[in-house]
Structure 1
Amino acid sequence: MRIDPFGLERWFAEYEHEADIMLAESGIRSLDASRFDLDPGKLDYVIPTNGDPEFRASVGDRYGRSADEVLFTCGTQEANFLTFLSLLGDKAGVGDGTPSSDGAGDSAAVGSGCHAVVVTPTYQALHAVPDAFGDVTRVELEPPEWGLDPDAIADAARDDTAVIVVNNPNNPTGRYHDEAAMRAVYDVAVEHDAYLLCDEVYRLLAAEPHPPVASFGRHGISTTSLTKAYGLAGLRFGWIAGPEAVVERAWRWKDYTTSSPSLFGQYVAKQALGRRETKILAENRELAETHRAIVAEWLDRHGLDWYDPVGVNGFVTVPDGFDDAESFCRTVVETESVVLAPGGLFGFPDRFRIGFGLPTSELEEGLERVGRVIETATAEGGDVDAAGGA
């Protein structure tokens, strides 16, 4: 099995540690730990290792699912990884690879195919991991609207398609595909006896979130965490919600990855999803909306463009005077110590990803520094290298 290097993580590893400002992060600013009780008592494993049953039942209620249809994980990254392991056939499967029922009537057979349809651009793990286990067909969103096309997904689906993968709202574009389009894609999954996996880690940053895919029916799987919308990245706490057969199979794989979710993560997550939730989400949505307006005004001032995003990511056109996004982003970080993400990491070298979920003062300082790079390039009428010359 071979997996491609994770381009975005390698880019961050090259620049993030030494840079002054991280203007490429895809989540909301982190909450202070002092807002929570941090004493869970004895530092043991979470028992049972799939998560506290009452808490899983509470999370399952959000999807119309039972406790046995929820598995707690170390962030959305593990949730997606375990789901792919569970779905992509005998090449990656657990046990004998025979089809399993999810307990809700006829359902997609778990482990019955090695093909995935993945809507891109998206977070690299959502196509690189299934490509390592099986065969991937990408369906590209097209700029400038980045609209989801259910017909294109239907054309890409095959008899051996096990899963269709969508990130909604989308990273890096910020496009929030509407419920009708998502339900049409779900129907494609049903027609092919496959699953629709939706990474919904940004969903609750929307002012009016759509219903989660796991609530659509027995072919729907939702993955998420408290990282992006709640500002709790350090908890490393997420989950899978979906058919019991998929969740059970993912739990078998989890025995070989992280064994159990984080005890601290589960303890604080109970608080974040309890009485504190409404206040946390209201604060974070307000911050996201305020910052989106700040960035939109900055883009207009510098003649740049994006699709008006939901969440805290935008996919921005590269300024004039630079060969591509990598050239621009290297100049920015090496002259102004601000990290952006080149769009080539997502397959679009003429764009860069900007994250605007960081504290307001850092955002404004970062934009001012990036603006200086753009203004220098405009004044000199050509490429500006990392040393600041024409």
Structure 2
Amino acid sequence: MKLPRFGVEEWLNVHEKEATYDIAGVSISALTVQELFDLTKTNSKDFYQELSQKRLDYGWIEGSPTFKKEVAKFYENVAEENILQTNGATGANMLVLYAMVEPSDHVISLYPTYQQLYDIPESLGATVDLWPIKEELNWLPDLDELRQMIKPNTKFICINNANNPTGAIMDRSYLTELVAIAQSCGAYILSDEVYHSFDDKDIPAIVDLYDKGISVNSLSKTYSLPGIRVGWVASHKEVADILRDYRDYTMICAGVFDDMVACLALKNRQKILERNAKIVRENLAILMDWAAQEPMAELIRPAAVSTSFVKLKIDLPIETFCLNLLKKRGVLVIPGNRFDIEGHVRIGYCCPQETLKKGLALLSQELNE
């Protein structure tokens, strides 16, 4: 099993601590523990008292009953026992692909997307075809192209919705058509759904649309808690039973403290969503205003999620430009070549507003210099 370097993560691992103005990350401004307490009106002394009495054993292997109950509320048709806790969405994607992809399989992956979704199946010996997003379709891929890619042995169609890096959304009508295509060959659909859209759109989880739909999510992006590394897989019984056997090889459990914080967040998710909707809408307005006034940048508006993909009108290779931007001005973005698209950068705009404003102003300076 050989894997190429993970382009985006490699860039962040090397450079994110150098940045003064980090507008690369796509979590919505991370909460401190105290901010989580304040937001949820939790008495910190009571919380820590409860924690101090917890035995630091393995805890609940698949996630606590409270965790499973709260996550099941995200879905219309998923039983609590079919929720499996994972080490973030990264662990969830890894679990599904590791457990279910065979060397004889054909996998179709949205492209570009989160790199796991195409590189892991290929490393397992599957044949992988890439289903490209189209700028002229507002960064959605063409469903007619997908129909032409289907084979009798197509085992998986992998998507993330909203898309990373562009923020494009597949809505209910699009997903319904996608499901019909998957049904034609009996393929599973693995959908990484970590980016919640704060636009007023009908965007169902794939597990609620299709008996072979597998939904992956986490508390890292939309819920501002990447530091606890808690995610999950939501599926139907057939898949959940398969994943249980493989899960013991990948993580055992998330941890007693992590589960406790996750449950606090999940039980109060509406308060977190209200806080984060405000951040997304206000910061997206700042980003769109900047793009409208900056003649050397173009932006297809993302669907009120925390990631955006900006086209820059420059002659330099995009990675060279981004390195110059970081070294000279302290601004970190993700170069588009890390998604195999030149001339673009991924901007995570849901950081503190002053960081965003200053980062964009310095980006403009570098563009115009």
TM-score (normalizing by structure 1): 0.86
Indicate yes or no: 2:56 matched with 1:44.
yes
Post-superposition Cα deviations, 1:278-325, rounded to whole Å, max 9, x if no partner, equal 1210110111111111011111221211210021111111233x3232
Pick one of 212, 217, 222 that aligns with 2:215.
222
Partner of 1:99: none
Partner of 2:108: 117
Partner of 2:133: 141
The separation in 1 between residues aligned to 2:55 and 2:87, in whole angstroms, is 17
Contact preservation (8 Å) 1:80, 1:223: yes
Q: How many residues align?
A: 352
Contact preservation (8 Å) 1:236, 1:262: no
Contact preservation (8 Å) 2:59, 2:256: no
Contact preservation (8 Å) 1:148, 1:177: no
Post-superposition Cα deviations, 1:143-172, rounded to whole Å, max 9, x if no partner, equal 141123222222212111111011111110
Matches within 5 A, 1:337-348: 337-348=330-341
Pick one of 255, 258, 269 that aligns with 1:262.
255
Indicate yes or no: 2:88 matched with 1:75.
yes
Say if 1:205 and 1:254 are closer, same or farther in 2 by CA, change over 3 A: farther
The separation in 2 between residues aligned to 1:201 and 1:340, in whole angstroms, is 20
Q: Secondary structure at the match of 2:250?
A: coil
The separation in 1 between residues aligned to 2:23 and 2:74, in whole angstroms, is 32
Q: Secondary structure at the match of 1:175?
A: coil
Indicate yes or no: 2:280 matched with 1:288.
yes
Partner of 1:358: 351
The separation in 1 between residues aligned to 2:257 and 2:72, in whole angstroms, is 20
The separation in 1 between residues aligned to 2:185 and 2:59, in whole angstroms, is 37
The separation in 2 between residues aligned to 1:172 and 1:365, in whole angstroms, is 22
The separation in 1 between residues aligned to 2:203 and 2:331, in whole angstroms, is 34
Say if 1:343 and 1:43 are closer, same or farther in 2 by CA, change over 3 A: farther
Q: RMSD over aligned Cα, in angstroms?
A: 1.7
The separation in 2 between residues aligned to 1:53 and 1:282, in whole angstroms, is 26
Matches within 5 A, 1:101-250: 114-133=105-124, 134-144=126-136, 145-208=138-201, 210-250=203-243
Partner of 2:307: 313
Q: Which has the higher helix share?
A: 2
TM-score (normalizing by structure 2): 0.91
Q: Secondary structure at the match of 1:352?
A: strand
Post-superposition Cα deviations, 1:245-266, rounded to whole Å, max 9, x if no partner, equal 2222222222122211232221
CA deviation after TM superposition for structure 1 residue 269, in Å: 1.5
Contact preservation (8 Å) 2:22, 2:331: yes
Q: Secondary structure at the match of 2:278?
A: helix
Q: Secondary structure at the match of 1:198?
A: strand
Unmatched 5+ stretches in structure 1? 92-112, 377-390
Q: Secondary structure at the match of 2:141?
A: coil
The separation in 1 between residues aligned to 2:33 and 2:69, in whole angstroms, is 26
Contact preservation (8 Å) 2:26, 2:348: yes
Q: Secondary structure at the match of 2:148?
A: helix
The separation in 1 between residues aligned to 2:123 and 2:87, in whole angstroms, is 21
CA deviation after TM superposition for structure 1 residue 127, in Å: 1.4
Contact preservation (8 Å) 2:334, 2:345: yes
Pick one of 308, 316, 324 that aligns with 1:323.
316
Q: Secondary structure at the match of 1:17?
A: helix
Contact preservation (8 Å) 2:70, 2:263: no
Amino acid across the alignment from 1:80: N
CA deviation after TM superposition for structure 1 residue 373, in Å: 0.7
Contact preservation (8 Å) 1:292, 1:356: yes
Tell which deviates more after alignment, 30-39 or 131-140.
30-39
Amino acid across the alignment from 1:152: E
Indicate yes or no: 2:312 matched with 1:299.
no
Amino acid across the alignment from 2:110: V
Unmatched 5+ stretches in structure 2? 38-43
Contact preservation (8 Å) 1:174, 1:307: no
Partner of 2:25: 25
Post-superposition Cα deviations, 1:338-364, rounded to whole Å, max 9, x if no partner, equal 111110111101211111011111111
Amino acid across the alignment from 2:113: T
